[in-house]
Amino acid sequence: MDAYRRRPARKSARGLHESLPLELREVVDRFGHHLAVVEGRSAHTVRAYLGDVVSLLTHAADQGCSTVEDLDIAVLRGWLAARLTEGAARPSQARRAAAARTFTGWAHRIGLSPTDPGAGLASPRAHRDLPHVLRADQAAALVTAPGSQPAPRGAGPLPHTGETMPGSPTGMTTPGRGDSGLAGDGAVAGQGEAGDNGTAASSGATRGEDVVAVRDRAVLELLYATGIRVSELCDLDQADVDHGRQVVRVFGKGGKERAVPYGHPARDALAAWLRHGRPTIAANTGSNGTGSGTGGVGTGRNNAVAGAGAGRKSGSGKGGTHRGRQKQGDPLFLGLKGGRLQPTVVRRIVAAAARAANLPHTKPHDLRHSAATHLLDGGADLRAVQELLGHSSLSSTQIYTHVSTERLRAAFKQAHPRA
């Protein structure tokens, strides 16, 4: 039976953090604050980097290093080699090397180390698979899926997002049937007016449509129309949307600001959400989006993300990342408890819409991939797509040219008589 015993589980990042000497724990916390506040890294990146640094310092301590000053290139390479023997994937190794270089460079700049041993640390070349891209008709089916199925009624968690529907008589499940919320003539306003065809058939709220479907459709339309990241969508405030010019202001990685246009379907979906859906949720929850709850984070944008045990500073507005501006908390999209919509809920929204449209499992980033590929297929300039996506390097955008080439090759093989 001994052969079937499981190996002892590795300590979590938080457990490793707590096992470090106090001096090193404080260094990790300072580094986390630097990443989140000074560099404006995303919450996901901060958590990953802090976990990597804690792992590195734990390995270094096992090698007899008691301070950051004791780190050298041999220790860094030994740490990566140890992770490789555990079966680490190349992308994970590349991220670990990047985290180590960022950490040692920061430690050198602030005087914790006389040298920067990470400057000579090479990254393993990560293999890049072609992204999952929907066809244009599949993307259209996905973004219009919300509302195509009857909405669940009464209290309890929604099966597709895990959010809890209010169970009160004035809840949000049956708008247009005497409830507060979507009652009215069912027409969608672009800017207080009807859409292009004067109806709500394509992207608006109808009498029987619930606020969840209105919100989810607006989320999906905006993701596909703009190609923004899920974190960027959740970070949006109402003031970031210029309805007249149909442009959304996005704060991306490193706090870089960019303006991204969107089309009429997204305009109409947003109008329906802002005119009917959002006020209904706000009224039912007594919130303007600054409170906590499903989809909401009540801590500040200037938080030092707590990954791997780093301290968290609370404030007002949005939490998790710092995008180069202080937020007062007027989110564009709300969760059903009145707080800011969380990326986890958005991922569930996309996955549920894909199931409803009979599509393979789809993630928010797949809509970003699809938007970029469809732009290039339609003749958009590669530099313009780079700017829209917020890529700092053109090489990140060029992956979509390979996707377009592969799609063209597949069409050629299928259709050409001499293929």
Our answer to whether residue 391 is catalytic in this structure is yes
Which one of 96, 108, 253, 337 is the catalytic residue?
A: 253
The one catalytic residue in 14, 258, 365, 407 is 365
CA–CA dist 182, 89 (Å, integer): 49
Q: Which of 229, 267, 276, 322 is catalytic?
A: 229
Catalytic residue among 49, 224, 262, 400: 400
- Give catalytic status of residue 256 as yes or no: no
229 as an active site residue: the answer is: yes
Q: Residue 29: which of 314, 313, 320, 310 has the closest Cα?
A: 310
Catalytic residue among 275, 368, 369, 374: 368
Both tokens of residue 252? 């991306």
- Known catalytic membership, residue 402: no
Q: What is the distance, to the nearest Å, from the Cα of residue 282 to the centroid of all Cα atoms in its chain?
A: 23
The residues annotated as belonging to the active site are 229, 253, 365, 368, 391, 400
